[in-house]
Structure 1
Amino acid sequence: MRLHTLRPENILAAAFCGPFAFAASVSSLNDYDVLKYVNPLIGTANGGMAKAVADTIGENQAGFAFDTDYVTGFSHMHDSGTGGSPSLGNFPIFAQPSCSNDDVNQCKWQLNDRAVAWEKDSVKARPGYFSISLANGVQAEMTTTNRSALYRFTFDKGLPEALSPVVLVDLIDLPQSRTNGTAEVDRSTGRLTGNGTFSPSFGIGSYDLHFCVDFKGAELRDTGAWTKNRAGITTDSVSMLADGTNTPASLSAGTFARFHSPANRTILARVGVSFMSVDQACANAQREQPDFDFEGTRSAAEAAWRKKLSVVTVDASGVSDDFQEIFWSGAYRSLISPQDYTGENPLWQSDEPYYDSYYCIWDSFRSIHPLLTIVDPVSQSRMLRSLIDIYRHEGYLPDCRMSLCKGFTQGGSNADVLMADAYLKKVQDIDWNTAYEAVVKDAEVEPANWNVEGRGGLTSWKSLGYIPTDDFDPYGVGTHTRSISRTVEYAYNDFCISEMAKGMDKQADYEKYASRSGNWAHMFKADQTSSLNGSDTTFTGFLQPRYMNGTWGYQDPIFCSPLLNFTSCYLNPDGHETYEGSSWLYTFYAPHDMGALIHALGGADKFISRLEYLHQSGLLYVGDEQAFLTVFQFHYGGRPALSSKYSHFYIPSQFNTTVAGIAGNDDSGAMGSFVMLSMMGLWPVPGQDVYLITPPYFKEVSIRSPVTGKTATIRNVNFDASYKAVYIQGATLNGQSWTKNWLTHDFFTQGGVLELTLGATESDWGTRKEDLPPSLSSYE
């Protein structure tokens, strides 16, 4: 779940939480604690924290945000940096030292009424732990296991000695989506239990969640239920049904336990959660935390992260603490989603793993999953098996999924990219026949509702070779926008299918899908110009909307860039023809056929000039995932040194150690994985067995394959920690000269040493046509 797991095959781990712990300085491994360099507060000014954590008023997409003032509760499951509506945050608990005049009706019950300021210098966050002090004299600390959270509430010594603390549970969630809920309290033990029905934050349907809260540390005084701002100690349950008359402020209701003054001024609250039942929620907590051992749980969480992350080693000699913090914190954020919900799926019975919180594959296929394939191929295998099992039971591979619900599709059917990527890299234990069946269905069979799965407009796609802006599609329901971005994504999805077909000896399919992968060119208008600030640029040829009759429409190439109507291209009925980016950006998206694209854009020199202009002009926002590949596409034009240059431009200008140190929200670790992969020096082209080579930000980086046990090392000769010498002068692979500016996944599975000699000026390394990455069409 969104709580972190201690299971070794899972990318999660305990508590607020979790980093990707790597060992560092090779010469002093025993002295290097990577968790020192993991700062979960990076980016929280943009709403980027997760797990058992404080929920704040204002920006609370993942619970806590640093640029807020008031805390309303502490909830147990969050999704990290998802964008859009908040997610989860169900059943927050809240502690108050005493009720005024010892009257439960004078405690603060409703969400906004109980909100209390938090002390700005009090927050402590590290993998497995979060702590915050409130103005009401409560210090709240929290840690988690896989399916339970443990809270420690300590009441300030400045409070009256005779306390009577109250801990409540609220039947609400962060997006206030609950349609019904029930809470009960056991008068003899103070156990609080209940459940609710909620809506997903970026999808359709609903989900049920259950909770179980137990206490330790103080003698129980009384219990009760509350609604609005009234409580009763003679009632032991409450039910809430959204009937259309409730406002968000009146959705709060729940149960509570009141205690006699705790001997050490501390109360522990253990919360179990389950999608199956209350009984399973209680069993989860009892199994994972039988002893209410806060320090033990916290220590186990940290140990789980250190073990998980020990596959990567860096020699950080000379590297500043800030750059180490950027790297390790990015690594931490990379490994939060998706979550292992195996055993917590009430929708169907299966022996296959079940993972959730794919927020969304449109975001994660570009960097998160390729990273997992390198550092955690076992978890990546389990995730793909889960996706295939979803196909078996629900008919399509998801493009987005959360809280057991179908999420919205943002572009193409990009699970196809994940399948091809894993197939080419020989990820183990996958049913490839069913996987191929699933991706072909994406390409051939339009679903009834292509807002949440598959592809729409397939009739036009097959007959016209593009998605028209005026598409007539009576075969399914979906949002008729994004004709440009859907076209280029469908083209790449088909290319990925062709790669699987080729490897599986399906020659006819290979030829069909390879041919369809060229459909991006049908929306390339060769004479289209673009102007900026009233003046024409020197570049001609951009993707443009096209009608069913073949004539051209028009969308300003800079529209939906930071320079013109940036927020106009989202997932809504008037969302325009590109999604979260401009035609300027999407015109660069043909990663399978860069030879043809470079030719269309006027040759290598013009391509490089245009790509530099994209990065220098303000047209590009690196906080959208489509921007990632453009940082490294200079490789295709024979200028790999410029990929290194622009990588160092964005890190640290856009990715740094401040609370605003992420470009936008983290998109479930997409930004974190961008940082980690960039700083490791090998950028994966998702859906292909291609890694573009740039120098790591460390003297040396090593990755030990969890499957083969072999170690791949990227070593910089003449390493310069001031990052002036970031250009490769020459390279060797296992002692032999290596002139290609890319390599394959065998490097990680078979091990070896890639040694890069660096200098302060650009060289001719990796610039020849034979050194460029693969392309369907040859380079000129």
Structure 2
Amino acid sequence: MVTTLFYRSIWLLPIAYMLVAAQQQDRTEYVDVFHGTEGGGNMFPGVVAAPFAMVKLGPDVSSGQAEAYSGYLSQGTITGFSMMHESGTGGAPKYGVVSQLPVAGEIENPLNDLSASRASPDEGSVGYYKSSLMNGVTAELAGTEHTGAFLYTFSEGPSSVLVDVSHVLPSYRGMGWNQGYAGGNMTIFDDGHYEGSGTYNNGWNKAPNWTIHFCGQFDTAPTSGRTFIGSETTLESYGEVSSVSGSKRLGAVFTFEATEVMSRVGVSFISSDRACEYIDRESPADKSFTSLIDDAVSRWNTEVFGKVTTAETGVDNLRHLYSSLYGMHLLPSNRTGENPLWTSSEPYYDDFYTLWDTHRCATPLQHILQPRTYEEQIRSLIDTWRNEGWMPDGRSSNYNGRTQGGSHADTVLADAYVKGVRGGINWEDGFDAMLADAENEPPNTDDPSARDSSVQQGRGALPDWNERGFITLKYTRSVSRAVEYAGNDFGLFQVANGLGRTQEANKYLARSRNWRNHWDENATSLGFSGFLVPRNNDASGSFVEQDPLSCGACYWVEPYYQGLPWQYTLNPVHDAATLIEWSGGKETFLRRLDTFFKPGRYPERPKANNTIFDPTNQPSLGAPYLYSFAGRQDLTVKQTRQIANAYYSPGRAGIPGNSDAGAMQSYILWMMIGLYPVVGQTTFLIVSPWFESITIDLGGGKALEVTASGGGDRKTRDFYVQSLKVNGGEWKQVWVTWDDVFRDGGRLDFELGPEPTVWWDESLEVPSPASHGEPRWFRRPTVEKMEDGLSA
């Protein structure tokens, strides 16, 4: 199945011309910036002027006790428009800093509640946001990578703009994750511009104090600028002074007679001088508001949307495609040149939320769409290890935390390595960074959520993992950690093997099989036996009696984090052949998968038709692809199409759960393309594409072209693969590799139809590298074949 270079050169030549033309088209009309802002997606709809931009400018909304994770809620009052946000996150809000609020008339006490209701729903598009307020003020927003532009229209003068240094996004969860304001300073200069900084802490990653500097100016000179300081709503100082500082609430009020006011603000983690430089460089006074929007549209078209083109004409499908592409390019934040902690020539990225979520689908897709940025992110992860001792699993405001399961930077690095990413990456350092995660126990953070070990970074349960080969109830999230640690160790095996470090490769291959030590053949549920269960902290590490349909609160202190035993048992994909064998063989395993997706099996999940499958959280998301490992690619297609149709849409509630920084959008994008990445390996499972054609620009004149012919309704009916050609040759595997279609470009030509067909060679099995090569040193349990398995 090797395609000749001659054949590729024939079709790659015209593609190079097509890709250039594609980048010149405007596809932002298909982007709904409110996609996923409702229904628990927690997406940020404000201004992000470029992919991964540091500034995310938008509204901060208060509505009772609702958590505004990204600042936005569809209902409630606007408390300010701030420069810093995250998108698609949970746990607790983060940022909402460097805020200002337009107010009709003059302000007597800036510490009073001046929030305003909307007169109409907010509007937004790529690079632009608008709020019309009940106080008669219209606020329009634009920006650049490091600056924000606020255009205020007042019905009459005088009017005011409140700059509140002490403003943050609040949290009502009561778990000690609410953000704190620790102090700040602000100075108004004679020419009317102002500078200052604010220091804040906490949020979802439990960060200690961190500082952001700002610089602001107005295109229209204010009639007055007054600083203030006070406690809660008690005003202590409010006058014509040039400077204020302290740990109490502080800021300034600027008053205008003009009915249109343009405000420009820059932010920096280094200094207010640099923040001012960003205004001069990116948003000078002679740069119009409209041109800022135009620049953002141009960058998004060139850097993102122009890289994925399709012949599709259905507006809903186009909106879904490009809104999802937009949503997965908001985090992490590119803060190269903005690292306040150490001096380095390496790139610097922050706001990883969290690699535990994004490593499965999002980072592999970033590799394809944004190879330069992807390499920079990996270099940043390694540089964080050089200077702090561990790579992050989650990181924000220049601080590692949280770590929910394993150390998934290891898996991200392994995925890049096996796919040939080299560039400026020092892979010896990269492997040493992975070794630090795999061998060094991080200091206990004594977090009230889980006091047993660190929730900041690394692998807190390493003593059990290294000494016993499993994780006991001495540690929280024991089974989740065991599954994740096994996958992380497989990543170390991959890189060690590639670097020729044979002894370490053998060690980590063996450790990647430790998930087997949690397999209890006597655990039963719904007619099936064999599940991953906790183990007691006794001499033998005896199995805990566990209902596979229960995980308690499924949170920090439980053995299973955000997933049932049923779900975690299906996660060791690097060792899938062993999982299938121990489950009773392919036939029984297929029935187990059918039961996993069958409605009515788990009444606690009514929004998912009472299925064990949970569309809202990552531990379930790889399950439909396991059908391919068991020899039924057609059932992978069936289940993924049902998931897409049931739980995803281009609407505001179009994401079934928390986006997790674009993890959910990338999951559906892979379905649209017709492939699925097996992370840490070069394998991509073949699914079924949504569109008649889709072309992905891989850079350097290379592309992946995917076509689908036959069948009429590829979304709901005619989606089964009938045959497949890869690079012009007949294909009989249910997977392709990186080298087949991505390294030099490639082509997938699908023939689709309404009925399942065995188009593949049933003797060819999907790679399961941890299942082969080395002896299985842990005894294989006896699994009785079920006589009456349940089927969908």
Structure 2 counterpart of 1:582, from 541, 555, 564 = 564
User: 5 Å matches for 1:761-772?
Assistant: 761-766=755-760, 768-772=762-766
What do the CA deviations read for 1:700-757 (whole angstroms, capped 9, x no partner)?
A: 1111212x42111111121534521111111111111111111111211211211111
Amino acid at match of 1:509: E
Structure 2 counterpart of 1:527, from 522, 526, 551 = 522
Question: Per-residue deviation at 1:195?
Answer: 1.2
Question: Per-residue deviation at 1:48?
Answer: 1.7
Question: Per-residue deviation at 1:226?
Answer: 4.8
Aligned to 1:74: 81
TM-score, normalising length: structure 2: 0.85
Question: Per-residue deviation at 1:27?
Answer: 14
Aligned to 2:238: 232
- Cα separation, 2, equivalents of 1:184 and 1:315: 50
- Cα separation, 2, equivalents of 1:684 and 1:304: 27
Question: Per-residue deviation at 1:364?
Answer: 1.2
Structure 1 counterpart of 2:226, from 196, 209, 223 = 223
Aligned to 1:15: none
Aligned to 1:144: 143
Q: What SS does the corresponding residue of 1:199 show, helix, strand or coil?
A: strand
Question: Per-residue deviation at 1:445?
Answer: 2.2
Aligned to 2:660: 667
What do the CA deviations read for 1:292-319 (whole angstroms, capped 9, x no partner)?
A: 521111100110000002553333435x
Aligned to 2:36: 43
Structure 1 counterpart of 2:90, from 77, 83, 86 = 83
Structure 1 counterpart of 2:298, from 296, 303, 308 = 303
Do 2:438 and 2:489's aligned partners in 1 also have CA atoms closer than 8 Å? yes
What do the CA deviations read for 1:360-411 (whole angstroms, capped 9, x no partner)?
A: 1111111111111111111110000001101111111111111101212111
- 1:186 lines up with 2:188 in the alignment: yes
The range that moved more, 723-732 or 47-56, is 47-56
- Cα separation, 2, equivalents of 1:187 and 1:416: 48
Amino acid at match of 1:558: L
User: 5 Å matches for 1:445-484?
Assistant: 445-449=440-444, 450-470=454-474, 480-484=475-479
Q: What SS does the corresponding residue of 2:651 show, helix, strand or coil?
A: coil
Do 2:32 and 2:323's aligned partners in 1 also have CA atoms closer than 8 Å? yes
The range that moved more, 515-524 or 25-34, is 25-34
Aligned to 1:12: none
Aligned to 2:317: 323
Q: Any unmatched runs of 5+ in structure 2?
A: 1-15, 47-55, 171-177, 445-453, 602-610, 774-784, 786-792
User: 5 Å matches for 1:630-649?
Assistant: 630-649=623-642
> Against the structure 1 CA distance between its residues 369 and 162, is the aligned structure 2 distance closer, same or farther, given a 3 Å change threshold?
closer
Question: Per-residue deviation at 1:643?
Answer: 1.6
Question: Per-residue deviation at 1:507?
Answer: 1.6
- 1:551 lines up with 2:530 in the alignment: no
- Cα separation, 2, equivalents of 1:273 and 1:448: 33
Question: Per-residue deviation at 1:412?
Answer: 0.9
- Cα separation, 2, equivalents of 1:674 and 1:726: 18
User: 5 Å matches for 1:365-514?
Assistant: 365-429=359-423, 430-449=425-444, 450-470=454-474, 480-514=475-509
The range that moved more, 671-680 or 64-73, is 64-73
Question: Per-residue deviation at 1:270?
Answer: 0.6
Structure 2 counterpart of 1:596, from 566, 575, 578 = 578
What do the CA deviations read for 1:665-696 (whole angstroms, capped 9, x no partner)?
A: 21111111112122111111111111111121
> Against the structure 1 CA distance between its residues 187 and 509, is the aligned structure 2 distance closer, same or farther, given a 3 Å change threshold?
closer
- 1:207 lines up with 2:210 in the alignment: yes
Aligned to 2:682: 689
Q: Any unmatched runs of 5+ in structure 1?
A: 1-22, 243-251, 471-479, 531-536
- Cα separation, 2, equivalents of 1:661 and 1:115: 29
- Cα separation, 1, equivalents of 2:161 and 2:34: 29
Aligned to 1:716: 708
Aligned to 1:247: none
Do 1:185 and 1:223's aligned partners in 2 also have CA atoms closer than 8 Å? no
Aligned to 1:258: 255
Do 2:490 and 2:770's aligned partners in 1 also have CA atoms closer than 8 Å? no
Do 2:19 and 2:697's aligned partners in 1 also have CA atoms closer than 8 Å? no
Question: Per-residue deviation at 1:660?
Answer: 1.7
Do 1:78 and 1:89's aligned partners in 2 also have CA atoms closer than 8 Å? yes
> Against the structure 1 CA distance between its residues 257 and 754, is the aligned structure 2 distance closer, same or farther, given a 3 Å change threshold?
same
> Against the structure 1 CA distance between its residues 130 and 627, is the aligned structure 2 distance closer, same or farther, given a 3 Å change threshold?
same
Question: Per-residue deviation at 1:109?
Answer: 3.7
- Cα separation, 2, equivalents of 1:642 and 1:764: 11
- 1:115 lines up with 2:115 in the alignment: yes
- Cα separation, 2, equivalents of 1:439 and 1:418: 10
Question: Per-residue deviation at 1:171?
Answer: 2.0
- Cα separation, 2, equivalents of 1:195 and 1:515: 51
Aligned to 2:607: none
Q: What SS does the corresponding residue of 1:776 show, helix, strand or coil?
A: helix
- Cα separation, 2, equivalents of 1:652 and 1:137: 42
Amino acid at match of 1:55: D
> Against the structure 1 CA distance between its residues 192 and 109, is the aligned structure 2 distance closer, same or farther, given a 3 Å change threshold?
farther
Amino acid at match of 1:714: V
Task: Give the alignment's Cα RMSD to 1 decimal.
Answer: 2.3
The range that moved more, 208-217 or 549-558, is 549-558
Amino acid at match of 1:192: Y
Do 2:214 and 2:267's aligned partners in 1 also have CA atoms closer than 8 Å? yes
Do 1:189 and 1:220's aligned partners in 2 also have CA atoms closer than 8 Å? no
Do 2:184 and 2:199's aligned partners in 1 also have CA atoms closer than 8 Å? no
Question: Per-residue deviation at 1:636?
Answer: 0.6
- 1:539 lines up with 2:528 in the alignment: yes
- Cα separation, 1, equivalents of 2:229 and 2:457: 41
Q: What SS does the corresponding residue of 1:143 show, helix, strand or coil?
A: strand
Aligned to 1:19: none
Do 1:56 and 1:71's aligned partners in 2 also have CA atoms closer than 8 Å? yes
> Against the structure 1 CA distance between its residues 305 and 719, is the aligned structure 2 distance closer, same or farther, given a 3 Å change threshold?
farther
Aligned to 2:788: none
- 1:268 lines up with 2:270 in the alignment: no
What do the CA deviations read for 1:100-144 (whole angstroms, capped 9, x no partner)?
A: xxxx31x6543xx111111343x2111111111000011111111
Amino acid at match of 2:101: F
Question: Per-residue deviation at 1:276?
Answer: 1.0
Question: Per-residue deviation at 1:623?
Answer: 1.5
Question: Per-residue deviation at 1:652?
Answer: 3.2
User: 5 Å matches for 1:14-33?
Assistant: 33=26
Do 1:639 and 1:766's aligned partners in 2 also have CA atoms closer than 8 Å? no
> Against the structure 1 CA distance between its residues 352 and 764, is the aligned structure 2 distance closer, same or farther, given a 3 Å change threshold?
same
Do 2:192 and 2:221's aligned partners in 1 also have CA atoms closer than 8 Å? no
Do 1:200 and 1:402's aligned partners in 2 also have CA atoms closer than 8 Å? no
- Cα separation, 1, equivalents of 2:118 and 2:111: 18
What do the CA deviations read for 1:572-620 (whole angstroms, capped 9, x no partner)?
A: xxx2101110101000011111111001111112112211221224222
Do 2:25 and 2:301's aligned partners in 1 also have CA atoms closer than 8 Å? no
Do 1:223 and 1:233's aligned partners in 2 also have CA atoms closer than 8 Å? yes
Structure 1 counterpart of 2:620, from 603, 612, 627 = 627
Q: What SS does the corresponding residue of 2:435 show, helix, strand or coil?
A: helix
Do 1:192 and 1:214's aligned partners in 2 also have CA atoms closer than 8 Å? yes
Q: What SS does the corresponding residue of 1:83 show, helix, strand or coil?
A: coil
Amino acid at match of 1:41: F
- Cα separation, 1, equivalents of 2:487 and 2:516: 12
Amino acid at match of 2:503: A
Do 1:363 and 1:625's aligned partners in 2 also have CA atoms closer than 8 Å? yes
> Against the structure 1 CA distance between its residues 342 and 308, is the aligned structure 2 distance closer, same or farther, given a 3 Å change threshold?
same
Identity of aligned pairs, percent?
33
Question: Per-residue deviation at 1:69?
Answer: 2.0
- 1:612 lines up with 2:594 in the alignment: yes
- Cα separation, 2, equivalents of 1:38 and 1:310: 10
Question: Per-residue deviation at 1:550?
Answer: 2.5
Amino acid at match of 1:93: Q
Do 1:55 and 1:71's aligned partners in 2 also have CA atoms closer than 8 Å? yes
